[in-house]
Amino acid sequence: MTTTTGRTVLVAPGRHGAYATIGDAVLDAPDGACVSIAEGTYAETLEFVGRELTLRAADDAEVVLDGTGADVPVLLARGGGLAVHGLTVRAGDTAAVQAENAELTLTGSTVTAERGPAVTVRGPGPLTIRDVTITGAEHGLVLEGTSGVVENVTIDNVAADGLIVGLGADPVLRSCTVSGCGQRGLYVYQHARPTVENCRISRTGQAGIVVAHRSEPVLRRTSVRDARGVGIDVGPNCGGLIEACDVGNTAEPAIRLDAAATAEVVTEPASVLSGSSPLDALLTDLDGMVGLPGVKAEVRSLVDEIQVNSWRSRAGLSTGALSHHLIFAGAPGTGKTTVARTYGKLLRELGVLPKGGFREVSRRDLVGQYIGHTAEKTAVVFEESLGGVLFIDEAYTLSRQSGSGGDFGQEAIDTLVKLMEDHREEIAVIVAGYTAEMRQFLAANPGLSSRFAKTIEFENYTPDELVGIIGRMVTAGDYELDPQSGPALAEHFRRISAAPGFGNARDARRLFEVMRKAQSGRLRRLGRIPDAAELRELRADDVLNAIEASPTPS
């Protein structure tokens, strides 16, 4: 029997040759397929039993799975593996996303629920949840008996607990924000051993963090603020480590250890413990990105200036006004979005922005359908982004010179100019796009260019840098790449880098996915279950087959 892998099936109601519903596409799709979903709201609930599938918004479309009237989870996976990218999932009284003994990947998505938990994962995993926003649920994220990574997740306005980790679960929770919880921000119970790093918990109705039932978490460089209960509460027979955590404006004591608790509390500043503060850690992460030497230098220069301004202010010296708005100019896939996220976190650590959040929008998020609608739409997006970074991708499409719906786009620009001036110290606006087109964008309003502190140029990655990026993807995915693949990869990137549609790291990501599919096809043809070493191995033939199957960008 021949198994089809790597297929993409399209869901687009009303479009000939496409599926009308996600459910129909899922039923027909073979394991390993990607279900690409066109923009729209889909009133569906989906159950996956032993399936290996990906659900992805097509071309960054706004896709909503609305299960608010159902009495079952909107997305339920039992066994197998489910990947969800770029969707909005809305639930009513049940879980929005639920995985049971399945490998769950959830990225770039928004999840809401009315009374049930937003996301529940039970079983060994592994799970990967990154760049996800969870709001309005009874519980935000529930992890039981699972391993994996939860990174850059925002949980806000939940009725009970924000994060629950239990039943021996040992995930890594990194750079997450939990706020506005009716009960606890983080509840760790029943032998759980999570590692919690650089997270922020605030505005909780009870304690900020509770550790119970013989759990042993590692809490490192995590802040707890504005809790109605104590900051961190460790119960009897619980251990672990509390290292360089910042607890303030909570009930007393800030950290409470039961007499029978064995947790170690290390209260020295993070700079003493690890040689770096959270600010330095973020700069180290920035320096760890492949390439971009000019970009890194520019960001460090901005950080230095803001830091010195803060010191001068504390010393009673005069300070100059600083704008935090930036222009990121360059081709797609050169790290603009990643750097913008890091910039927001840096501003938060410097005390410039209270939230350090990140919101990415494009023309369709700002421009309405009639005169007056655009100003209102733009103002709402702007106000919702206060305290963090508003990232406007392909901002040049707003200018009249872009040629489509110019007047409405111009209305968005004019509104932004005024709002940026009125809220100069409450937000960082970053506009991004090709260098030449961004010059046209700045010409669209006489006051626009003066609102931005500077333009930072993002150069294309070199072929060797792209090989390095592939290497990081391989490591992050728990694979091992045949070293002999390096020259073939470098030659491939040299060949496609001259193409007009070259996508830099985006093309590297696409190639890595094709490499994985090539490996999957090879392993399925073995006629037996591969061992762990074989599952990790990406051979040179997998790379060559992927290169051959990858079209040249156009």
Largest CA distance in the chain: 77
Instruction: Give the tens place of pLDDT for each residue, 320-362.
Output: 767 788 999 888 888 888 899 888 888 888 888 877 788 888 8
**Which amino acid type is present at position 206?**
Q
**pLDDT higher than threshold 60 for residue 272:** no
Question: Which residue among 224, 242, 275 closes a domain?
Answer: 275
**d(C-alpha 411, C-alpha 366), whole Å:** 9
**d(C-alpha 8, C-alpha 527), whole Å:** 25
Residue 149 within a domain: no
Q: Specify the residue for token string 């733009």.
A: 378
Residues 302 and 445 grouped into a single domain: yes
Residues 240 and 318 grouped into a single domain: no
User: End-to-end alpha-carbon separation of the chain, Å?
Assistant: 36
Residue 36 dihedral angles phi and psi, to the nearest 5°: -90, 125
Domain limits for position 64: 1-143
In total, how many domains does the chain have? 4
Residues 262 and 409 grouped into a single domain: no
**pLDDT higher than threshold 60 for residue 270:** no
Residue 532 exposed, middle or buried by CB count within 10 Å (0-12, 13-18, 19+) = exposed
pLDDT for the residue 345: 87
Residues 86 and 37 grouped into a single domain: yes
Residues 264 and 361 grouped into a single domain: no
Query: What confidence category does residue 277 fall into, taking pLDDT thresholds of 50, 70 and 90?
Result: low
Q: Which of these, 203, 205, 264, lies nearest to 234 by C-alpha position?
A: 264
Residues 282 and 252 grouped into a single domain: no
pLDDT for the residue 34: 93
Residue 504 within a domain: yes
**d(C-alpha 62, C-alpha 476), whole Å:** 28
DSSP sequence for 201-244:
EEEESS-SEEE-SS---EEES-EEEEESSEEEEE-TT---EEES
Residue 382 within a domain: yes
**d(C-alpha 508, C-alpha 473), whole Å:** 9
Residues 425 and 319 grouped into a single domain: yes
Query: What confidence category does residue 6 fall into, taking pLDDT thresholds of 50, 70 and 90?
Result: low
Residues 381 and 494 grouped into a single domain: no
Mean pLDDT of the chain: 87
Residues 493 and 356 grouped into a single domain: no
Q: What is the CATH number of the domain that holds 97?
A: 2.160.20.10
Q: What is the mean pLDDT of residues 32-48?
A: 95
Instruction: Give the tens place of pLDDT for each residue, 481-530.
Output: 988 888 899 889 888 887 777 888 888 888 999 999 999 999 989 888 98
The DSSP output letter for 554 is -
Question: Which residue among 436, 458, 480 closes a domain?
Answer: 458
- The pair of three-digit structure tokens given for residue 329, joined into one six-digit string: 């100019």
Residues 475 and 451 grouped into a single domain: no
Residues 519 and 412 grouped into a single domain: no
**pLDDT higher than threshold 70 for residue 554:** no
**pLDDT higher than threshold 60 for residue 267:** yes
Of the given ranges (108-117, 176-185, 262-271), which has the lowest mean pLDDT? 262-271
Residue 187 within a domain: yes
pLDDT for the residue 274: 40
Instruction: Give the tens place of pLDDT for each residue, 374-405.
Output: 888 888 999 888 888 999 988 888 875 444 44
**Which amino acid type is present at position 519?**
Q
Residues 5 and 65 grouped into a single domain: yes
